[in-house]
Structure 1
Amino acid sequence: MGSFFKQIYRYTHKRPYRHNENLWPYMRISRAPSGEIISLNFRGQAIPIVSLASLAGAFSGPVMLAATGPSVKDIRFKTPPSLPSMGLNGAWSLNKSVDFKFYVIVDMGFLDQRPEMVAEIVSDPKLTLFTTAHGIARIVDRVSLARIKCSLALIEDAAFKIFQPKIPATELGHCYANVRCASFADNRPDIGFTTDIRHGVFDAGTVAYWALQIAAFLGFSELYIIGLDMNNFNKPRFYESESNKLPSFLAESFEDLIVPAFTHASNQLKKKNIRVVNLSLQSAIPSQIFEKADYHQVFY
């Protein structure tokens, strides 16, 4: 039946709408005047989602962003850090050592390949999970709505909004030129950064880039990042082994996309007086972009 509806969709919609084909006709949405999705119905079920407007600037002070580079293995967590944390993908393995209040999963491959971990994440009632409409659809289908105890915050890729046409990367700067919270790197209309995620989040090939935009939107003024190694891409992430590691595609986009994007993010965050500290001393992200520090010196 899914294949049948997909074929109908392809015959009745132009190619720029192709990213919606797995959601139609199962999903219904409504949007606020400011653009963000405020109601979601999937397979006849009303899915409770958090109002993004209620989260704007609702927090302050420091937050830890937990990425998943191998360097996390070198951290000695004697006690949970005394600040809220935002986990990315498989960082949930640290949940006994880190106080996760927020989570970000936008990688559909992770949702597909780590169903047991995803089920644990969404069962935490203290957690707010930021994910896309495609992510919510996968979670509801595979975990069930009844088992979702966390709060769901629906975010969108600025180039792939639901039931709207895809925006080519080279046209992003033009399409968002009048959105005051969005900025673009010099001579790179494909590299954007926003401080208001209600208009969409800009991708740069890594969930950490989404997390920076979300943390800024939430109001945090100090961002401490663990596991932002961006090197040794052939090695397992800290929670993986050689036998179960998922592929990484970061190496292919590191020089041309990731470094320029983080450079742009750094400039925009500094303008907002938001400090970013990379706690991965051997990270391939230069200290000129984000200052570096030793986790054990910062938190002990």
Structure 2
Amino acid sequence: MGSLFKQIYRYTRPRTFRHNESLWPYTQIERADTGEIARLRYKGREVAIVNLSALKDSAEGTVLLTATGPSTQSIDFSKLPRTIPVMGVNGAWFLSGKVTFSLYVIVDMEFFDRRQDVIRSVIADPNILLFTTMHGIAKILDRHAADLRCRLALIEDACYKIYQPKVADALKWETYKSVPTASFCETRQDICFSTDIRHGIFDAGTVAYWALQILFYLGFNRIVITGLDMSNFNQPRFYETSDSKLPSYLEEKVDNVVMPSFAHAATVMKKNHIEIVNLSPESAIPDTIFHKVAFDEYFDL
């Protein structure tokens, strides 16, 4: 039946709506005046989602963002002050014995498919607020509904909104130039940073870029990051082995997309008096973008 619905949807909508085909007709949404999805029903049931407007500027101070580069293995997290909230992405969950997560971001559907053990663990934690897309929520409800204990925050790729047409890179500027909270790079009309996630989040090939936009919106004024190596893509992530390693598609995007996007994020953050510290001294991201300090040195200050 699902395949039939996809075919009906595909042949009754323009190609620019194709990203919605697996959601229709199971997903019904209502949007708030501020643009975000405020009410969600999936397969006939109401789904509790956090009000994004209530999250705006709800936090302050320092937050730790844990990426998953190999350098994570060398960090002594016992030095991390317990008062600092922690956001995890993807497989960072394997640090859960060393840090306590309160925020989490997973937007990679391949990760949902290939690491269901991590998904089950994350969503079973009632202390976590998980930011994910509608496609991620659908996978959770279809596969792990009985395990769901965390809170869900429904976020959208600004160029692939639910039941709205895809926005191609060439049309990104024209579509969002009048949105004050969409901050475009001065030299690249295909690179943008959202300071209000209710209007969507802009992708740059890495979940870390999503996380930065979320943390900005939440109101933190200092973001310290571990595991943001952006190098050695042939090596397993800190929680993987050579046999269990999922493919990485970052290497082909680093120079043209990832680095310019991080540079733009740094500019936006600086203008808004938000400090970013990269705690991976060997990171390929230059110090001119994110200031680099060793973890031990930073927390011994």
Q: TM-score range by the shorter chain?
A: over 0.9
Q: Answer yes or no: is the 8 Å Cα contact 2:79–2:296 preserved in 1.
A: no
Amino acid at match of 1:283: S
TM-fit CA distance, 1:78: 2.4
Q: Answer yes or no: is the 8 Å Cα contact 2:197–2:217 preserved in 1.
A: yes
Matched, 1:234 2:224: no
Q: Answer yes or no: is the 8 Å Cα contact 1:106–1:207 preserved in 2.
A: yes
Matched, 1:103 2:113: no
Give ranges in structure 2 of 5+ residues lacking alignment.
none
- Cα RMSD over matched residues? 0.8
What are the superposed Cα offsets for residues 121-157 of structure 1, whole Å, 9 maximum, x if unpaired?
001111100000000000111111x321111000000
SS at match of 2:127: coil
TM-fit CA distance, 1:117: 1.0
Amino acid at match of 1:192: C
C-alpha separation in 2, matches of 1:119 and 1:81: 27
Residue 122 (structure 1) aligns with:
123
Q: Answer yes or no: is the 8 Å Cα contact 1:79–1:97 preserved in 2.
A: no
Q: Answer yes or no: is the 8 Å Cα contact 1:81–1:98 preserved in 2.
A: no
Residue 89 (structure 2) aligns with:
88
Residue 156 (structure 2) aligns with:
156
Residue 222 (structure 1) aligns with:
222
Q: How does 1:128-167 map to 2 (within 5 A)?
A: 128-144=129-145, 146-167=146-167
Residue 49 (structure 1) aligns with:
49
C-alpha separation in 1, matches of 2:298 and 2:168: 41
Q: Answer yes or no: is the 8 Å Cα contact 1:92–1:121 preserved in 2.
A: yes
SS at match of 1:190: coil
Amino acid at match of 1:154: L
Residue 265 (structure 2) aligns with:
265
TM-score, length-normalised on structure 1? 0.98
What are the superposed Cα offsets for residues 180-220 of structure 1, whole Å, 9 maximum, x if unpaired?
11111123111100111000000000000000000000000
Residue 284 (structure 2) aligns with:
284
C-alpha separation in 1, matches of 2:59 and 2:11: 46
Amino acid at match of 1:41: R
Q: How does 1:242-257 map to 2 (within 5 A)?
A: 242-257=242-257
Ranges of 4+ aligned residues in structure 1 off by more than 4 Å: none
TM-fit CA distance, 1:18: 0.1
Matched, 1:67 2:84: no
Q: How does 1:200-211 map to 2 (within 5 A)?
A: 200-211=200-211
C-alpha separation in 2, matches of 1:40 and 1:243: 39
TM-fit CA distance, 1:164: 0.2
Report the identity percentage. 53
Residue 27 (structure 2) aligns with:
27
Residue 13 (structure 1) aligns with:
13
TM-fit CA distance, 1:79: 5.1
C-alpha separation in 2, matches of 1:281 and 1:44: 50
C-alpha separation in 2, matches of 1:191 and 1:112: 28
TM-score, length-normalised on structure 2? 0.98
TM-fit CA distance, 1:106: 0.4
C-alpha separation in 2, matches of 1:212 and 1:294: 20
Q: Answer yes or no: is the 8 Å Cα contact 1:27–1:43 preserved in 2.
A: yes
TM-fit CA distance, 1:77: 2.2
TM-fit CA distance, 1:99: 1.7
C-alpha separation in 1, matches of 2:237 and 2:125: 23
Residue 185 (structure 1) aligns with:
185
SS at match of 1:124: coil
C-alpha separation in 1, matches of 2:170 and 2:269: 23
SS at match of 2:78: coil
After TM superposition, the structure 1 stretch with the greater mean CA deviation from structure 2, 176-185 or 56-65, is 176-185
TM-fit CA distance, 1:174: 1.5
C-alpha separation in 1, matches of 2:63 and 2:174: 33
C-alpha separation in 2, matches of 1:168 and 1:112: 26
Q: Answer yes or no: is the 8 Å Cα contact 1:227–1:279 preserved in 2.
A: yes
Residue 36 (structure 1) aligns with:
36
What are the superposed Cα offsets for residues 62-99 of structure 1, whole Å, 9 maximum, x if unpaired?
00000000000010222553300000000000011112
